[in-house]
Structure 1
Amino acid sequence: MKNVPLAEVDHVDRAVLPIGTDYPPGHVLDWHAHRRAQFLYGATGVMVVDTADGTWTVPPERAVLIPPTTRHRVRMLGVSTRSLYVEPSAVPWWPAVCTVVDVPPLLRELLLAAVEFEPDYSLSGRAGSIAALLLHEISERAPLPFHVAIPATAELARLCRAYLAAPDAGVTNADWAAAAHMSERAFTRRFRTATGDSPAVWRARARLLAAVPLLRAASVSEVGARLGYASPAAFTAAFTRAFGTPPSRFATTGTPR
């Protein structure tokens, strides 16, 4: 199915409903939820998925597993998606929080084939076999670390979301503590309890996540400088430590890579 709203087919008696959707650049799917689990694959571009608990950046050729009934927002940056909407009873192993995963060639080809199915595809033929194999392949995927946690406290959450919107290497723990009307020590302790990271570590990771969409239109050198790194080598080293792959994997223009 292509460009079909889930609401039109959600009633169909199939555990897996594949839907492909094309979005205009910069499109935002505002806050919403669906009763089915969702495997959201970006065949092109970058997606940023927000929930109350965190932000997940989904690079090209990756996907995010979204649990059923999870309220979320998706920002599409040049994205054409291939989604699977899955009955929760069919995937008791589905993660309880959003999870970014790799999409190897076999899984990608299965997804591309599946979005050509009719809503009531035959369960006993090729389509049914592909749908079953898709779930087996997804269950084997390992999580990738393209996310940061968002604190439950509204005040801390506001600071984090504002930083994600405009990451600035010049922001310090003292700046955040002052904005929260707390001592730096008390703020740092509270933030670490809420997220599992110190504020400085959290901000460094947030800047690296911000690099992923920026690399679609700028070189590694340009993105590293914009995010406050002293050199392309320093940026590349930090990015590779955080995500297990160099930023050149996502860069489309400029040098060095």
Structure 2
Amino acid sequence: MAKSDRNYVPELPDDDHFRSLEWIEKANAPVLAIGKDYGSGLVVPLHSHSRTQLWWARSGVVLVRTPDGRWMIPPGHALLIPAGMEHSAEMVSDVRMHSIYISPTASQARRPLVLEVSPLAASLIDELVGVECATSSERRESLIMDLLLEEIPRLTERPLGLPFPRDRKLAALCRQFLKAPSAAANIDEWAERLGISRRSFTRLFRQETGVSFVTWRQQACIFASLPRIADGEPITTVALDAGYENVAAFTTMFRRMLGAPPSLYLRTQAA
């Protein structure tokens, strides 16, 4: 069954974190729901679950790390984490988290997926966590669980995952890029820094990340901009710092990835 609002705590020390993990492993219900508040900067240590997790940022921005990539969870989105996958998390801002745990057989995902949470899914998760209703009959809760399991596969995927290469030298370049992202970065510069040809670089990059350099660069620029936008920095400043020639170009890419322009994202964040 869902944990109620009585289990809603502001910031969990390690002991509480591991008690929650123990509860998740021992529970028998088909769907488990937990709600927690985390303070900005809090780090959740590396761990895994025997269940698939849907980690929804009800508010705030979360950065999740896995062995193969980094995944940004902005407000209104959730990260689907396959069962057994080790991951850690860092709160980029104050975060209200709603987490759903389901059977591994309820999802076919083999990699993390950032999903846009629909209004229906949001309402169902709120009900299970206990925000809207502290008590519920077993039949009603079972129906909510069943409908949520039907809704999760219908959620829209958003490209907010940033795959990271295993190659040490290439990974170092990627980490440097995230500290100072630029939409003007080009293949020839990176190839030269690695001491290889352009063709060898493009082949290596796709082998290591599964996407082209241009696609990764676009995603990384938006990825790095989200915490700044969430903090209320002017969109013009963020866009120009990211190497975009103008706000319109930044807005177009932002809309393509998040399904809405930065202005709407900001209104959603404020709400």
| Number of the residue aligned with 1:23 | 38
Looking at structure 2, the residues matched to 133 and 154 of structure 1 have their Cα atoms a distance apart, in angstroms, of 44
- 2:88 aligned residue (54, 65, 73): 73
| Aligned residue runs from structure 1 range 44-123, under 5 A | 44-76=59-91, 77-89=93-105, 91=106, 93-116=107-130
Cα-to-partner distance string for 1:85-135 (whole Å, 9 max, x where unaligned): 22324x1x3311111111122211211121129xxx999422222222221
- 2:265 aligned residue (244, 250, 254): 250
- What amino acid is the match of 2:247? P
| Number of the residue aligned with 1:132 | 146
Give the unaligned 5+ runs of structure 1: 253-257
Q: Is the 8 A contact 1:42 1:63 kept in 2?
A: yes
- Give the SS at the match of 1:65: strand
Q: Is the 8 A contact 1:17 1:85 kept in 2?
A: yes
Cα-to-partner distance string for 1:27-85 (whole Å, 9 max, x where unaligned): 22232212111010011011222222222222211111110011112222221100012
Offset of residue 170 of structure 1: 5.7
- Alignment of 1:203 onto 2:217: yes
Offset of residue 227 of structure 1: 1.0
- Alignment of 1:192 onto 2:211: no
- Alignment of 1:177 onto 2:191: yes
Offset of residue 169 of structure 1: 4.4
Looking at structure 1, the residues matched to 215 and 136 of structure 2 have their Cα atoms a distance apart, in angstroms, of 50
Looking at structure 2, the residues matched to 177 and 183 of structure 1 have their Cα atoms a distance apart, in angstroms, of 6
- What amino acid is the match of 1:68? A
Distance 1:38 1:55, change over 3 A: same
- What amino acid is the match of 1:222? T
- Alignment of 1:232 onto 2:252: no
- Give the SS at the match of 1:20: strand
- What amino acid is the match of 1:84? I
- Give the SS at the match of 2:236: helix
Looking at structure 2, the residues matched to 55 and 168 of structure 1 have their Cα atoms a distance apart, in angstroms, of 18
The RMSD of aligned alpha carbons is 2.5
Give the unaligned 5+ runs of structure 2: 10-15
Offset of residue 153 of structure 1: 2.5
Looking at structure 2, the residues matched to 157 and 113 of structure 1 have their Cα atoms a distance apart, in angstroms, of 42
Looking at structure 1, the residues matched to 97 and 141 of structure 2 have their Cα atoms a distance apart, in angstroms, of 19
Looking at structure 2, the residues matched to 247 and 144 of structure 1 have their Cα atoms a distance apart, in angstroms, of 15
- What amino acid is the match of 2:79? V
| Number of the residue aligned with 1:155 | 169
Q: Is the 8 A contact 1:218 1:251 kept in 2?
A: no
More deviation, 139-148/32-41: 139-148
Looking at structure 2, the residues matched to 123 and 179 of structure 1 have their Cα atoms a distance apart, in angstroms, of 62
Distance 1:108 1:232, change over 3 A: same
Distance 1:37 1:127, change over 3 A: same
Looking at structure 2, the residues matched to 183 and 124 of structure 1 have their Cα atoms a distance apart, in angstroms, of 63
- Give the SS at the match of 2:170: helix
Structure with greater proportional helix content: 2
Offset of residue 171 of structure 1: 4.2
Looking at structure 2, the residues matched to 75 and 250 of structure 1 have their Cα atoms a distance apart, in angstroms, of 21
Number of matched residues? 248
Looking at structure 2, the residues matched to 199 and 131 of structure 1 have their Cα atoms a distance apart, in angstroms, of 40
Q: Is the 8 A contact 2:182 2:244 kept in 1?
A: no
Distance 1:231 1:79, change over 3 A: same
Looking at structure 2, the residues matched to 232 and 243 of structure 1 have their Cα atoms a distance apart, in angstroms, of 16
More deviation, 35-44/165-174: 165-174
Looking at structure 2, the residues matched to 85 and 32 of structure 1 have their Cα atoms a distance apart, in angstroms, of 14
